Amino acid sequence: MDQLIVHGGATLRGAINISGSKNASLPILAGTLLTAEPCIIRRVPDVSDTNYMVQILSAMGADVERSSGTVRITCDGISDTAPYELVRRMRASICVMGPLLARLGRAVVSLPGGCVIGDRPVDLHLRGLEALGAKVEFEGGNIILTAEHGLRGAEIDLRGTHGPTVLGTDNVMMAATLAEGTTVIESAAAEPEVVDLADFLNAMGAKISGAGTSRITIEGVKELHGVEHTVIPDRIEAGTFMAAAALAGDGVTLRRVNREHLKAITAAIVESGHAVDFNESGDSCTIHRGGNLKGVDLVTAPYPGYPTDMQAQMTALLATTPGISVIKDTIFPQRFMHCAELKRMGADIKVDNGTAVVRGVEQLSAAPVMASDLRASAALVLAALTAKGSTAISRLYHIDRGYEHIDEKLLMLGANVERVKGG
Ligand code: EPZ
């Protein structure tokens, strides 16, 4: 297992390109199961989560070629069963369920277990697919979905106790593309990744309207065809580098971003005293560290609210921002594992009941720390950039799940980081 050693104190400068979105790529890759024709997906980030998805599709019989961000997939002659050994490694594998059911009338997918960011049920996915006419059974740790006579359009409300569900919306939307009649999803997730999936499906011949709002309408069609699609920029990777630039930068430019998708993150960084300037077309921005900083209060919320996937990284930034910040995660109230590690580096944080109260300290100090999940590990890297001394971050495989070449991008900006074997 690799470790990342971050020698604190370097100033970040220069420009990098933001990769394609991991969380848009995963359902889009799964969506290729809806057609027997070849699909070409561009800007798929080279991270282990997209590799798992590609492996799952291959194991199910898809023909997959991958080279420098472009994945060509033909899902002809596929099986209805997603292999447990691969599925268990990544919760997002659950999004093969909807397309398999729609295409083959049957899907066998193992039930995802709990995960470190909290309980992650799939009841809403199943409720939606049942409403479309699927029979749901559980056997040997698997979910078995069948729709012998095909799926039928229905009105479905996908609201859960923590708001809408992103992958649940994706699953039901994909299943409904080939259902008979019209489906209306109420309380749908409006995240840009859902819109990217809808754009991909519409290009394949689906009839989806309203993606990006809380009401999505899908008119079922008989079949879908192969397409080429380019994935949207990764707003969470962009936000993470915005936070890095705010912490340790002196003019960092991020290219291939989408200003619209970054509104809530930009607002939080600006409110804490930093400057974020976009170019006219909104696809590039430059971040300057501010001179008059202050703590902020943040509450995570479904899009267009502040994303839970940027909660840990902002906590790291606020750990050394003067004043008191209060950060509440309403979507995953247990997603505060990074705080214990940040405290080991000298941060003053109290976590209680889904809320972190952060009292900004002047500087953190290096300590051996352990990554617990993807965004928590990004938070530790950020904290280490300005910490006194060299921080060794172990269990780096967490960060490799979702950040494409993060060490190379940091090196390009002038950070002093090295990946070492072991740890
Ligand atoms: C997606 O997960 C993202 N993953 C997550 O990003 C992200 O944190 C999350 O959305 C919230 O924005 C991908 O896109 C691959 P949800 P998803 O269903 O869809 C509850 C990252 O760091 N819920 O929108 O699985 C759930 O417990 C990852 O890149 C139910 O109650 O999340 C949570 O409280 C981690 N029943 C809330 O809904 C269900 O059936 C939102 O979860 C499903 C979810």
pLDDT of residue 119: 66
Strands 249-255 and 284-288: antiparallel
What does pLDDT average to over the chain? 95
Cα 121 to averaged position of ligand 1 atoms, centre (Å): 9
Q: Is any atom of ligand 1 closer than 6 Å to the C-beta of 325?
A: no
Residue range 240-259: average pLDDT?
A: 98
Largest Cα separation within the chain, whole Å, is 65
**pTM reported for the whole predicted model:** 0.97
pLDDT of residue 113: 61
Cα 38 to averaged position of ligand 1 atoms, centre (Å): 29
Quick count: other Cβ atoms within 10 Å of Cβ 219?
A: 15
Task: Give tens-digit pLDDT for 327-356.
Answer: 999 999 999 999 999 999 999 999 999 999
Ligand 1: residue whose CA is nearest its atom 4: 23
Q: What is the dihedral of CA 285, 289, 293, 295, to 10 degrees?
A: 60
Q: Does the pLDDT value for residue 121 go beyond 90?
A: no
Ligand 1: residue whose CA is nearest its atom 9: 166
Q: Is any atom of ligand 1 closer than 6 Å to the C-beta of 190?
A: no
Task: Give tens-digit pLDDT for 355-385.
Answer: 999 999 999 999 999 988 999 999 999 999 9
Active-site residue set: 115
Quick count: other Cβ atoms within 10 Å of Cβ 274?
A: 24
Q: Is any atom of ligand 1 closer than 6 Å to the C-beta of 122?
A: yes
Ligand 1: residue whose CA is nearest its atom 14: 23
Residue range 140-162: average pLDDT?
A: 94
Cα 162 to averaged position of ligand 1 atoms, centre (Å): 10
Q: Does the pLDDT value for residue 49 go beyond 80?
A: yes
Strands 12-17 and 249-255: parallel
pLDDT band at 116 (very low <50, low <70, confident <90, very high): low
Q: Is any atom of ligand 1 closer than 6 Å to the C-beta of 162?
A: yes
For the chain, which domains are there?
Answer: 3-19+233-420 (3.65.10.10), 22-230 (3.65.10.10)
Look at the alpha carbons of 386, 387, 389, 391 in this order and tell me if their dihedral is positive or negative. negative
Ligand 1: residue whose CA is nearest its atom 21: 309
pLDDT band at 107 (very low <50, low <70, confident <90, very high): very high
